[in-house]
A and B are shown apart, each in its own frame.
Chain A
């Protein structure tokens, strides 16, 4: 019996050795492979707040239906049920599953409605591999407001993933697709945590073991003033609606309010704008098509994505270049007979005898034709470059245009023709080849206002982690424009004159001294502008004596003049910035953060 017992125990021991040591790793793989998943846990995304701490973008809970392909045990039962619930064919589902990674949850539908949620939950209870997961969706306090600058997040696509995988991005992640969400994605997304998820026989999560907790994304505070943004959008929107009625054609417009000393962007409106909410839940192909086909191009942020001729607002640069180049003085006088060679002044009868500063106020083209002709393209180009034209302003938004700063070499190459004096003359009043974005003009205006510094427009003020640590705080950047202060003062006087007795008296407010320059761009008919309607500009700053803000308004193919269409929008913005009696109440102090 002892022998028999020993034999039996030896057999058991040998078998144990075989199972646990010789084939141990094989069984360990089998044991872990289908029951333990290490999941990366996305961190709550940081919120976006305006400079007063008003929450513009936050996270709202939502439920999503997910599928874990490797855990689908009964495809033949599960898929038809899913197909019924999601209203997608079994074939489509199979295709989606084939493309997905087997262990990662595949989001089938986000932001489930209550009715769908009930059915989805039932499905998750009975079908292994199907789960309902709580997630977050971006909530926009003001809906469409500022959608161009705020942007939206969406699921990462293959192209984005390719370059970002090494930085911890994974399939199924949310990623900023446009605007600030894209620009500051790495900040807002926080740091992923990881957790070990144990799944029981039915594929249900039994326990989660947090290996590393996620670090929530820091909150991003903007320089933006939400109320000012609303005012700007409202003023711009009303004008655009009227223009649409008048012209029978949708057009766009844009307004920016920027601190001339720091480049802090207080408002940046571009209309029409898109609704970010469908993007947040996953936009349907049909909805996206509709946005692309919209004649108003709601996906284009006209402030930074498009470039236009600056029109007469460019005279700020021509004047600076002329003064600094010694072609004239602030006290020079000119004579406008209505034309310069073949080029006409917009006042055909001519301005007669006119001082340098009044040429700015009344926007006399002839004066600038002659100055431009005398200084030549190279000198003019140099000052354009000093003011930042031809390069992006560096605003913290993606896909900014650099505009077009033409040169004889450029024309040689693209047009296969030499640069004529006529081209220089055209350019000196902001017509012709030169293209600028409205934001570039705001930077130019700010430089004139602040005594010659090109600032970098900045939307982000500071990003604060949950523990209060400063994660990001863009420092103001500025470069000096080599134009003497007295010359810039002369340009400013000319712009003040335009408001008091020139082309933009619409902004002549009693409570604050505004200085401005209008611009009206003549267009030839083209595919995008069949009637060749004018673009109009108004660039301005205030208060005149101690410039603080620049307000730039641009209206695309609006017809009419900058003084009558664009300046009134700026007026409403200034009225918001400087309500009557502001100087006695607020004393012009910067509002404090939070």
Chain B
């Protein structure tokens, strides 16, 4: 694998930092009362590392060959969830894999959307292509929305929208469509989802019920102060005062036990990672690489913002995992695969004087790259 000589390790530094920090948080949250989550998560991280390595080594320019089967598998899996999925907390999100545990197809769908949209939009932007991308996204979106998993379906829309925007779709048009979608929300949402939004607006409505998660997570994080209470010493974390603090609310552990220093440290690591992904996008030798990086960067940023924002009262409780943090094999492996793709894009741009392998569309390439750059910068 000759191309691995050009690997950009600085991309993996913030990733390793995040994985270590958040694994410690998970360990802290689950050391009592849970059954081996930390060990399993470590195993997932190892599997994820292998997958990431494979994607890094894989030339992303051949991804258009991967996209159709990936799309097909995702659609099948989402269909299977509808039929025979396992239900947790009132929504069907998991597929049983027998002894391997469970698999969450909606996480895979995030990667599928990035790969499919990038593949479709990497050609010259035409209405046909834009509609094709939307048409590809729609079934995934709907299947996830009815699980119901509002958060993930929202992620798909945001990621797809951002990729379309970077690909050159009119921003005003995109915003109008988004506005229509928001207006339609009250008719699509289930009772509990509406409650969550209401509580987000005013958590004191019901501090022991719906608002409980919000109040408790803010209290936990706030009580962490500047330096935190020390790893494994956050008593709200340790004693189950924050619900789901090993999955969606993992950031409360960081906030309580490591304080502002830990919280900002984590955000800075995400920022660093985000920056490296954007750089990979800018430097991409082709439009496909730029769009892939756009998708991955959007996916991470949106989820970090919504997840962390949810724990500190800036976003509604929509059940999005914190990338690299929340417990769950599907998510970890998917995000690490995404970083692997970015790594592959980065390698390509570092290979010196490589003749364009996409020589088939040299003229198109030049125009499209220019536009991608412009919007990425904007």
For residue B223, which residues in chain A have a CB less than 8 angstroms away from its CB? 24, 27-28, 30-32
Q: Tell me if A399 counts as interface (CB < 8 A to partner B).
A: no
Which residue from A9, A17, A20, A206 sits with its C-beta under 8 Å from B271?
A9
Please give the distance in Å from B271's CB to the nearest CB on chain A.
Answer: 5
Chain B: CB-nearest residue to A199 = B239
One of B218, B241, B260 near A35 (C-beta < 8 A): B241
* Interface status of B236 (Cβ within 8 A of chain A): yes
Residues of B within 8 A of A8 (CB): 301, 304-305
Q: Return A26 CB to nearest CB of chain B, in Å.
A: 7
Task: Tell me the minimal C-beta distance from A488 to chain B in angstroms.
Answer: 73
Q: Which of A10-27 contact B (CB under 8 A)?
A: 11-13, 15-17, 19-21, 23-27
Contact of B278 among A2, A20, A207 (CB under 8 A): A2
Whether, in the assembled complex, A341 has its beta carbon less than 8 Å from a beta carbon of chain B, the answer is no
Identity of the chain B residue whose Cβ is nearest the Cβ of A20 in the assembled complex = B260
Please indicate which of the listed interface residues A5, A16, A25, A206 has the most CB atoms of chain B within 10 Å of its own CB. Answer: A16
A6 lies within 8 A of chain B by Cβ: yes
- Cβ–Cβ contact A2 & B221, under 8 A: no
Contact with A along B262-288 (1 / 0, CB 8 A): 011001001100110010000000000
B294's closest neighbor in chain A, by CB? Answer: A1
Query: In the complex, are the beta carbons of B239 and A207 less than 8 A apart?
Result: yes
Does B219 contact A5, Cβ atoms closer than 8 Å?
no
**Which of these, B218, B225, B256, contacts A25 with CB under 8 Å?**
B225
Q: How far is the CA of A96 from the CA of B326 in the complex (A)?
A: 47
Given the known A-B contacts A35-B235, A199-B239, are A20 and B267 also in contact in the complex, defined by CB atoms under 8 Å? no
Given contacts A1-B376, A11-B314, contact A24 B222 (CB under 8 A): yes
> For the complex, what is the distance from the CA of A120 to the CA of B377, rounded to whole Å?
68
Q: Does B289 contact A (CB under 8 A)?
A: no
Name the residue among A1, A21, A28 with the largest chain B CB count within 10 angstroms.
Answer: A1
Bound CA span A199–B241, Å? 9
Q: Report yes or no: B239 in contact with A16, Cβ–Cβ below 8 A.
A: no
User: A2-B377, A20-B263 given as contacts; is B225 within 8 A of A28 (CB)?
Assistant: yes
B312 nearest in chain A by CB position: A15
Q: How far is the CA of A2 from the CA of B308 in the complex (A)?
A: 19
A-chain residues with CB within 8 Å of residue B241 when the two chains form the complex:
31, 35, 200-201
Contacts of B218 in A (CB 8 A): 19, 27
B238 at the A interface (CB under 8 A): yes
B contact residues, total (Cβ < 8 Å): 45
A19 and B221 in contact (CB under 8 A), knowing A13-B267, A24-B226? yes
State how many angstroms separate the Cβ of B134 from the closest Cβ of chain A: 21
Known: A5-B301, A20-B259. Contact between A30 and B219, CB under 8 A?
yes
Let me know if A17 and B260 touch, CB within 8 A: yes
Q: With A and B bound together, what is the CA distance between A199 and B239 in angstroms?
A: 7
Partner of A31, one of B235, B309, B313, B375: B235
A20 pairs with B222, CB closer than 8 A: yes
Is B211 engaged at the interface, CB distance under 8 Å to the other chain? no
Which of chain A's residues has its CB closest to B307's CB? A12
The answer for the CA separation of A17 and B271 in the assembled complex, in Å, is 17
Asked whether A2 lies within 8 Å of B222 as measured between CB atoms, the reply is no
Please give, as numbers and ranges, the residues of chain A lying within 8 Å of B221 by CB-CB distance: 16, 19-20, 27
Name the B residues within 8 Å of A43 (CB-CB).
none
Q: How near does chain A come to B133, taking the closest CB pair, in angstroms? A: 18
The one of A12, A21, A35 that contacts B236, using a Cβ cutoff of 8 Å: A35
A139 at the interface (CB under 8 A from B): no
B341 within 8 A of A: no
Partner of B226, one of A9, A21, A26, A201: A21
Q: Is A506 an interface residue (CB 8 A)?
A: no
Is A1 touching B297 in the complex (CB atoms < 8 A)?
A: yes
Say whether A100 faces chain B, with CB atoms less than 8 Å apart: no
In the complex, A26→B270 CA distance in Å?
Answer: 28
How far does the alpha carbon of A20 sit from the alpha carbon of B256 in the complex, in Å?
9
Q: A11-B314, A24-B223 are in contact. Are A1 and B162 (CB under 8 A)?
A: yes
Q: Contact mask A255-280 → B, CB, 8 Å, 1/0?
A: 00000000000000000000000000
When distances are taken between beta carbons in the complex, the residues of chain A under 8 Å from B256 are 31
Q: Is there a chain B Cβ closer than 8 Å to A36's Cβ?
A: yes
Assembly CA distance A199 to B260 (angstroms) = 25
Which residues of the partner chain A approach B377 to less than 8 Å between Cβ atoms?
A: 1-2
**Chain B residues in the interface with A (C-beta under 8 A):** 162, 166, 208, 218-226, 235-236, 238-241, 255-256, 259-260, 263-264, 267, 270-271, 274-275, 278, 294, 297-298, 301, 304-305, 308-309, 312-314, 375-378
Ordered by A's residue number, 15 sampled pairs between the chains whose C-beta atoms are within 8 Å are A1-B376, A2-B274, A5-B271, A5-B278, A6-B271, A12-B308, A16-B263, A16-B264, A24-B226, A27-B218, A30-B219, A31-B241, A35-B241, A198-B238, A198-B239
Besides A26-B222, A30-B223, A31-B223, 10 new A-B residue pairs in contact (Cβ under 8 A), listed by A number: A1-B294, A2-B275, A2-B377, A6-B271, A20-B255, A27-B218, A31-B241, A32-B235, A198-B235, A200-B240
Question: Can you list the 7 inter-chain pairs with the closest CB atoms, starting with the nearest?
Answer: A27-B222, A31-B223, A24-B225, A28-B223, A20-B260, A19-B222, A206-B239
